[in-house]
Amino acid sequence: MDWLRLQKALSVEADRGFNDLMGNEFRFSEFLSRSLNQSSIDLPSRSQEKLQELANEFATYADLSFSQRQHLVAETRRFLHQTKRWVEEQVELEQGIGNETRSRSVAVVAPARTPRTKPLVESKMVKRVTLDQAVTFLPGIGAKNSERLAKLGLHTVRDVLYYYPRDHLDYARQVNIRELVPGETVTIIATVKRCNCFNSPRNAKLVIFELTVQDRSGQMKLSRFYAGTRYRNRGWQELQKRHYPIGAVIAASGLVKQDKYGITLEDPQIEVIDHFNASIDSLKVGRVVPIYPLTEGVGADVLRKAVVAALPAVSQLQDPLPEKLRQNYDLVGLQEAIANIHFPPNSQGLDVARRRLVFDEFFYLQLGLLQRRAAQQQEQTSITLAPTGKLIEQFYQVLPFQLTKAQNRVVNDILNDLQKPTPMNRLVQGDVGSGKTVVAVVAILAAIQAGYQAVLMAPTEVLAEQHYRKLVEWFNLLHLPVELLTGSTKSTKRKQIHADLATGALPLLVGTHALIEDPVQFQRLGLVVIDEQHRFGVQQRAKLQQKGDFPHVLTMTATPIPRTLALTLHGDLDVSQIDELPPGRKPIQTTLLSGRDRSHAYDLIRREVAQGRQVYVVLPLVDESEKLDLKSAIEEYQHLQEGVFPEFKVGLLHGRMSSAEKDDAITQFRNHQTQILVSTTVVEVGVDVPNASVMLIEHADRFGLSQLHQLRGRVGRGAEQSYCLLMNSSKTETARQRLKVLEQSQDGFFISEMDLRFRGPGEVLGTRQSGLPDFALASLVEDQDVLEIAREAAEKVIEKDPRLDRWLLMKQELQYRYQRLMGGTILT
């Protein structure tokens, strides 16, 4: 039986989402069913029956639900690991070397030890543990525990070694009782003076265990609480007393706390040791203790036991990073890092191990992105565009303003890209109102004047409509047609657009997801422009690009992304920044308010509307929520129209309205028919009304800083002074400090950096659409310095050998991690 091929097929099927992948000859399920049926291995009858049962289940794989497929693949992987190990042991026994081989000592990298803690793996004769061995065969684990570990995706010894702790408790520091400081985690060595175990007089289900201990500096009481009727048994309680006799020496670890009875350890871990100077032989006391992510039915003790049993196999790990690279960046070897991430000797050992493994996570991600970028630069496109021409010159003439220095710099970046024989793949980042659309139009005109078509895709109908309106104004002056295609476009109009695109009569099409979903065919697509690109999935962006033959791609975002996120998400893109606002724009005056300041906010609104200007009022919800005490858009609209501003016309806009209703609400506001627009975050992008001068955001603490900055950007688009009022409903100091950032800064990049620190990358980008890889250890907030050096190292490696042919171990590791990190898909 081809064990490796079967396990690889099962692994790929799991990584790709249990979709019954099609291979070169057979579907996954057919390949498994055939292979298991044709097995010629002589197995015990029960194993042979199981093999046949699995083969039959794969024959019906197409009819199974997702969870049934998931279970079947996991069960088969475990069975094959166990069977392969059994076969190997039978071969060893037949050759007469089985017992000798298994009793031979192996070289082990010793994990976690302190001067007073025994090593977890000693140099005695141990059974050899191999990386690809099933966890069932680990000493002390067995079949029952291996089933539990399988719930965490741990099937092999290698899986266990790479299952990193989510945190550590540092109990390595030993102190005297008199030196205990609340808030620290420590270990004490002391003598038992008194031991008691009794039923709580106040709670019938609670049992209290108390230990009074003393060292040369003082005395203290340790308590543990046990909930459950089985602990009320007198026999169990007496056993505890016998376990800790008076005069016994104990080591106790925990968090120091001060309560009304004095200083103590919270929920202490306690072990009896031989004497005061004895080594501590424990997984939970006197050392840096790993805390693992667990799931229901899998206890911490079982997982720690599996890790300890797997640690001897660390010596078999080969380090893919060359020694010179490790020396350049001060990185420890892989074996030492893996051993010490689980049971480090001390906090310094943990830091060093973690740094190496975080570097690996970032390094292979950057390597993959840079390799993709190198491949893109090898692609050839027949679309080379001139940097000047009649259309571009006419456009500059009809523009009522001059481009800023930043806009000119970015335009030059783009026009240089368009002349190269490789397709452009550039991201333009620009703050709200910085003029990204104008820059995109220059690129679009370069494509059109060379005889190509262009397409601009936006994530919402509101934003697509906004782009369309602006482009129509400019394109009419240039006598060029432009059309809009969204989900609301009527079928007759849709057919006309399709026809004009196919003949080449339509040079530019603006739209939403409808551009992808529709049977849209371009005659000669030369440029793809994607706005707010982070709101689209990878596949959606790729589908639009595939409508042309290696078209140039320009992506834009008004959500400034900190460098760490940009490297992680867009490491294969060229990035340009428009870091300058058009002249004449006044900074928006931003003020943080509480409920008692509401009357001041309403006074400001009245004053501004009386002077002919307009106001946004933004809320986080559409309907009133029973669970959250938040104002809803509908409720607030009625309140403001009837109770607060009856003299003004108030409008309403939210995401549940039909496209026609949204258009009507925006049009009325744009035409000054409504003075105040109550809205949800639909207005975050796309609504451009230069006359609006006040943005009042209710429950501002419910929004991220980047989103608030986007909302604030809806005002301040004219020459008049504008205001953003942040109504804070939270009583926490953290929320107030976070919102204060907006009071102090108008810089979108600084604000997004602070947002990243306050909320984390998943929340900043929107977790579902973020495209963020799933790191086991690395943090984009805490490990920015490691990301920088990992990027530098990856650039040097790719510069020397883009295909990694001189570093085969690194190449294999990259292929494995790229599948795991990104599910086999390209990020951008």
User: What are the residue boundaries of the structural domains of the chain, listed by start?
Assistant: 3-103, 105-161+296-315, 173-286, 390-419+435-557, 589-745
Can you list the alpha helix ranges (DSSP code H) found in 16-96? 28-37, 45-59, 66-94
Q: How confident is the model at residue 534 (pLDDT cuts 50, 70, 90)?
A: low
Question: Cα(478)–Cα(459) distance, rounded to whole angstroms?
Answer: 27
Evaluate whether 105-161+296-315 and 173-286 have a shared fold: no
Highest mean pLDDT among 536-540, 650-654, 755-759: 650-654
Q: How does pLDDT run across 431-460, given as a tens digit for each residue?
A: 777 888 999 999 999 999 999 999 999 888
pLDDT of 101 higher than 50: no
Three-state SS at 650: strand
Read off the tokens for 462: 């509101």
pLDDT of residue 657: 83
> What homologous superfamily is domain 589-745 in, according to CATH?
P-loop containing nucleotide triphosphate hydrolases (3.40.50.300)
Range scoring the smallest mean pLDDT among 241-245, 273-277, 293-297? 273-277
DSSP 8-state assignment for residue 803: T
How many whole angstroms separate alpha carbon 31 and alpha carbon 42? 21
What SS3 class is residue 192? strand
Chain length of the chain = 828
Would you give the DSSP letter of residue 65?
A: -
d(CA 682, CA 707): 11
Pick the CATH number of 173-286 from 1.20.1290.10, 2.40.50.140, 2.30.30.760, 3.30.390.50: 2.40.50.140
* pLDDT in the model for residue 97: 38
pLDDT class for 161, splitting at 50, 70, 90? very high
* Mean pLDDT value across the chain: 82
Longest dimension (CA), the chain: 99
pLDDT tens by residue, 60-89: 888 887 778 877 887 888 788 778 777 766
What integer is the mean pLDDT of 232-247? 86
Name the CATH architecture for the domain at 390-419+435-557: 3-Layer(aba) Sandwich (3.40)
pLDDT in tens, 390-406: 899 999 998 888 898 99
Count how many Cα atoms sit within 13 Å of the Cα of residue 614 in the half-sphere of its side chain: 26
Classify domain 105-161+296-315 at the CATH class level: mainly alpha
pLDDT at residue 123 in the model: 39
Paired tokens of 636: 């607030």
CA 661 to chain centroid: 36
pTM for this one?
0.63
Q: Among 726, 760, 762, 755, which Cα is nearest to 738's?
A: 755
